[in-house]
Structure 1
Amino acid sequence: MPTFVFSAITPHGYEILEDLSPHNPALMEKTRQSMQTLGFGMAAAKPETIIVLTPHGTRIDGQFAVACSARMKGTLEFAGRQQTMECTVDRELARAIVKAATDDHLAVGALQYATSDGPLACLALDWGAQIPLSFMPDVPVVVITPSRLVSMADHLRFGESLARAVAKSGKRVGLIASCDWAHAHDASGPYGYHPSAAKLDKRVVQLLKAGEIEALGDFSPDFIEEAKPDGIWQSLILAGAIARDVRRIKFLSYEVPTYFGLICCEIEERAAND
């Protein structure tokens, strides 16, 4: 049986949410439609828990950070609008992932806030998690934030640890790698323009369509710095969790409506003997 009931690579631009794009709701319509498709697929898979890999959560330098608080809550503010979300954390699975990674000699931290339980035990829910979760069924979550100070190889290994914990749990689990891509497509954007942005995104699209997610880890540090993607590390965790020989990628969309690239993919996981 597949380890994950449904998996996806999604973006997390604010204006994907129509409520946060009141002045130009068509801006990210292509991506929004793909996100709705992914949300329908996740809902049909009936997960008990959804794991979100996000670059924007509470980070620990040199460690994978796993939210183990009782709850998470976040408020997005954009274009004069607000959206608040509160999620229950699947603490049992979160702690199992921490243990599996620790057993594999990976640097990992279990994050909590204020108290071990109760109303104060609530960590911030970042936009990298909240935006894709806005399209998904309302179930408990596990939110994980990688560190770019950890090697690319260890991101793959962490994915293997994560998958082992999920398989051992016996739960129906969905997996989302929340990823925006190159952030240097537009001179007027906050990171300016660099020609490497278009080159990196083109290569990412090629690799994803070919199912070669692991190859994202081969990009040079200079190329990454020039293009400024934030999706490589979460994608590598997903690649470690769903091995090349059992994955098939259904590529839904790519667009660059502002200064950063947006990609939506479904990752179909087959049984190893299929």
Structure 2
Amino acid sequence: MASSSVVFACITPHGLPILRELAGDAPNLMARTRESLEQLGMEMRTVEADVILVITPHGLRAEHQFTVAASSYMEGGLSELTVAQMVGESRPDLGRRVHMRRAVDQRFAKAIGEAGRAAGIPVAVINFATQAGVFSTLPLDWGSLIPLSFMPDIPIVVINSARSRPYHEHIQLGEQIAQTAASMGRRIAIIASCDWSHTHDHRGPYGWHADAAVLDEAAVACVSRGDLEELMQISEETIEHAKPDGIWQALILAGAVPPNERRPQLLSYERPTYFGMMCARLR
């Protein structure tokens, strides 16, 4: 099934200090990644998509299910204090914040859920408080908010990957997303929000392991070739040691953009702290 409805597709990271407002006293820490995201944002604006679909590992979770946020709105905020808490620091004096509220393409979100379930994929369609309107607002996680900060302000749909589900279901869900978009006439831009290995630094919250470099090298090679399916060959042992959170979102993107339609362009890879970050355009 061709994914002509997918007019843009990229892999981005979601480390909080990517945003200048959350970079504290190290504004250049993730400057290379920030520049790459700025470039992706400019490029996404040129394709005039109708909706941005974000695939995140940090959003609404349902045991053994994918989730699709189908509220009228999503809203979230982050602060320098959030950054400090993530690395175990106690810094109550940190006060700079970012905030985002985005409209959701509810009809498209619900249709993805229906298509996924019809294909035998466990998908939970999630809402909050009311069916529609201003009170129908779900939280916007940092895996979505960070990359969206660089992208055009158009309606969104946020999907949470399901690490407990088999790889082939992630690919199948991506296929259903592209088919649903095509049937509805939606021009969609896809963001697979992926940080990679989290064990690059013994001072980080997950410690250090040599497999972090091994996994990230393999991931960069796979993405550079556009061979996202090869990520499925990384061993469970390596994954356990390296602690990535990018494989599953990348496989949903792989289903939405078939290999013959990928035009891979690696913009950057860096790991200035304990986790790896990659920016790449696939379509």
* Structure 2 length-normalised TM: 0.93
Q: Percent identity?
A: 46
Task: Say what the alpha-carbon RMSD is for the aligned residues.
Answer: 1.0
The 8 Å contact of residues 56 and 249 in structure 2, kept in 1 or not, is answered as yes
Structure 1's unaligned 5+ residue stretches are 269-274
How far has the Cα of 1:3 moved from its partner? 2.1
SS of the residue 2:125 aligns to: strand
Does 2:114 correspond to 1:99?
Answer: yes
What is the aligned partner in structure 2 of residue 125 from structure 1? 140
1:108-146 CA distance string (max 9 Å, x none): 000011111222211000000000000000001000001
Structure 2's unaligned 5+ residue stretches are 82-93
The 8 Å contact of residues 6 and 256 in structure 2, kept in 1 or not, is answered as no
The 8 Å contact of residues 76 and 101 in structure 2, kept in 1 or not, is answered as yes
Alignment of 1:4-153 (within 5 A): 4-78=6-80, 80=94, 81-153=96-168
1:20-41 CA distance string (max 9 Å, x none): 1131111000000000000001
The 8 Å contact of residues 57 and 143 in structure 2, kept in 1 or not, is answered as yes
1:128-177 CA distance string (max 9 Å, x none): 00000000000010000011110011111111111111111112211000
Instruction: Determine the C-alpha separation between the residues in 1 that align with 2:197 and 2:148.
Output: 22
Deviant stretches of 4+, over 3 Å:
none
What is the aligned partner in structure 2 of residue 232 from structure 1? 247
Instruction: Determine the C-alpha separation between the residues in 2 that align with 1:256 and 1:146.
Output: 23
Instruction: Determine the C-alpha separation between the residues in 2 that align with 1:118 and 1:90.
Output: 12
How far has the Cα of 1:217 moved from its partner? 1.5
* Structure 1 length-normalised TM: 0.96
1:231-257 CA distance string (max 9 Å, x none): 000000000110111112111000001
Does 2:180 correspond to 1:165?
Answer: yes
What is the aligned partner in structure 2 of residue 272 from structure 1? none
Equivalent residue letter for 1:59: R
How far has the Cα of 1:66 moved from its partner? 0.1
Instruction: Determine the C-alpha separation between the residues in 2 that align with 1:94 and 1:205.
Output: 30
How far has the Cα of 1:104 moved from its partner? 0.6
What is the aligned partner in structure 2 of residue 242 from structure 1? 257
The 8 Å contact of residues 5 and 186 in structure 2, kept in 1 or not, is answered as no
How far has the Cα of 1:210 moved from its partner? 1.3
What is the aligned partner in structure 2 of residue 271 from structure 1? none
Instruction: Determine the C-alpha separation between the residues in 2 that align with 1:114 and 1:222.
Output: 41
Size of the aligned set, in residue pairs, is 268
Does 2:218 correspond to 1:216?
Answer: no
Instruction: Determine the C-alpha separation between the residues in 2 that align with 1:129 and 1:103.
Output: 26
